[in-house]
Homo-oligomer: A and B are copies of this chain.
Amino acid sequence: MVPHLTTALNGPLLDLERRFLSAMPNIEHWFRRQWLDHAAPFYASVDLRNSGFKLAPVDTNLFPGGFNNLNPDFLPLCVQAMQGTVQKICPEARGVLLIPENHTRNLFYLQNVAQLVTILRQAGMLVRVGSLLPEITSVTEIALPGGAVVKLEPLVRRGNRLGLEGFDPCVVLLNNDLSAGVPDILKNLEQAVLPPLSAGWYTRRKSEHFAAYDRVANDFAGLLSIDPWLINPYFATCSQINFQERIGEECLAARVDEVLQKMRLKYAEYGVKHDPFVIVKADAGTYGMGIMTVKDASEITGLNRRQRNKMSVVKEGLQVHDVLVQEGVYTFENINEAVAEPVVYMIDHSVVGGFYRVHTGRGVDENLNAPGMHFVPLAFESCCTLPNPDCGPDDTPNRFYAYGVVARLALLAASLELEGGED
């Protein structure tokens, strides 16, 4: 499966890719220095948008699902990166307890769990999967398409150690984003918990991530002498919003207007002919719930009941109070007429693969990670670490290198964010 990508515009982004390519030794040297001072998250995935004139991260997930969507040819890369991470952060560890999201019917997600188990096993770890679900009271095997099986087991807490029946792991690996808070059974564990509990969405804020990304993008743009806007979307926040009771609408409309105004100036500077739009979304949480596309501040005050209901809750039924207004980045990558959004996966600070979310029913200015969104994953055909200076800057390996660079910038921002949030 070879993705055929078309990019509607090939002006500024080509230039950006060319700069990335020619500055590669400086870029890699810069990253190495950053990783001396900052510990990368255990793993992460970054959603990118490529508008042809701008390449930017729009979301950074510290509990990535979707490892099953990566190109199977790059499984060895995942295994090697996992071995390196384990060697660095928990070399004495043997047993890993993987705690996934509370899904038992989402087979796509469970395939991701199965893939994580495979990666950890191939890296030489003893791995078992413990479920937070109260209904998992005994070993429960779930068959997956393709013949694999995920075995969910009930968690057993003994004092300050978490394990399973007959399994006392050294490390607890979370693939659960803790949207609803930290369950008591995970509190005060003596084992290492990776990523740290403070990376959970119950406390994490997208605005803090993008504030950290501002710093990273500015530094990096200085290194390359580029306009940081080319890799960084504007954003603003509003707190104490209540969509259902129409509280905070004026604040939100004002922020939307500010971001749109700043975008208009940049669009004029770069000769971009499209209408600017912003994405309004919950400042905490994931899964693309509570998200809307806005092209004019007046849309905020004119929301109908259905729209307000949709915006007011995210995953686990949590109320939305803090809202992020983020510059919308058009996606101009298309695969057979369908809109495609790249997602890059990292283990520690190594890029290990990626895939495109391909969605035929959505427009270039819409969020592609939305509930009910049945995207088709299309694995990257080549990895993100093999740029070829003999090819054009927008040729696949070079474009993927650029994706890997911007994804690592977001990863670095997540490192800064987690340092700030350490308990």
Residues of B within 8 Å of A242, CB to CB, are none
Contact between A87 and B386 (Cβ–Cβ < 8 Å)? Answer: no
The chain B residue sitting closest to A120, CB to CB, is B25
**CB-CB under 8 A for A386 and B94, given A83-B28, A350-B80:** no
Known: A28-B125, A29-B94, A74-B76. 12 other contacts (CB 8 A): A28-B83, A29-B92, A29-B93, A76-B77, A77-B77, A77-B80, A79-B386, A80-B385, A83-B350, A83-B385, A122-B385, A122-B386
Q: Closest B-chain residue to A94, C-beta based?
A: B29
Q: How many residues of A contact B (CB 8 A)?
A: 39
4 A-B pairs closest in CB distance: A28-B124, A32-B91, A76-B383, A25-B126
Flag A293-327 by CB within 8 Å of B: 1 or 0 each. Answer: 00000000000000000000000000000000000
Residue in B25, B73, B87, B123 whose beta carbon sits within 8 Å of that of A94 in the complex: B25
Q: Which residues of A in the span 64-107 have a Cβ within 8 Å of any Cβ on B?
A: 73-77, 79-81, 83-84, 86-87, 91-94
- Check A274 for interface membership: any CB of B closer than 8 A: no
At the interface, yes or no: A268 with Cβ under 8 Å from chain B? no
Contact residue among B75, B91, B124, B385 (Cβ-Cβ distance under 8 Å from A36):
B91
Judged by DSSP, the binding face of A is helix
Q: Which chain B residues lie closer than 8 Å to A36 at the CB level? A: 91
Chain B residues near A91 (CB-CB < 8 A)? 32-33, 35-36
- Cβ distance A409 to chain B, nearest Cβ, rounded Å: 15
Q: Digitize A329-344: 1 where CB-to-B-CB distance is under 8 Å, 0 elsewhere.
A: 0000000000000000
Tell me which residues across on chain B come within 8 A of A383, comparing CB atoms.
76
CB distance from A255 to the nearest CB of B (A): 39
* Chain B residues within 8 Å of A77, by CB: 76-77, 80
From A147, which residue of chain B is reached at the shortest CB distance?
A: B390
Bound-state CA distance A122–B126 (Å) is: 33
Complex CA–CA separation, A74 to B385 (angstroms): 12
A-B contact pairs, 18 of them (CB 8 A): A24-B124, A25-B125, A25-B126, A28-B83, A29-B92, A29-B93, A32-B86, A32-B124, A33-B92, A35-B87, A73-B73, A74-B76, A76-B77, A79-B386, A80-B350, A80-B385, A122-B387, A123-B385
For the complex, is A230 an interface residue (Cβ under 8 Å from B)? no
Bitwise interface map of A from 3 to 43 toward B, beta carbon under 8 Å scored 1, else 0: 00000000000000000000011111101110110000000
Q: How far, in whole Å, are A25 and B385 apart by their CA atoms in the complex?
A: 29
B-facing residues in A117-136 (Cβ within 8 Å) = 121-126
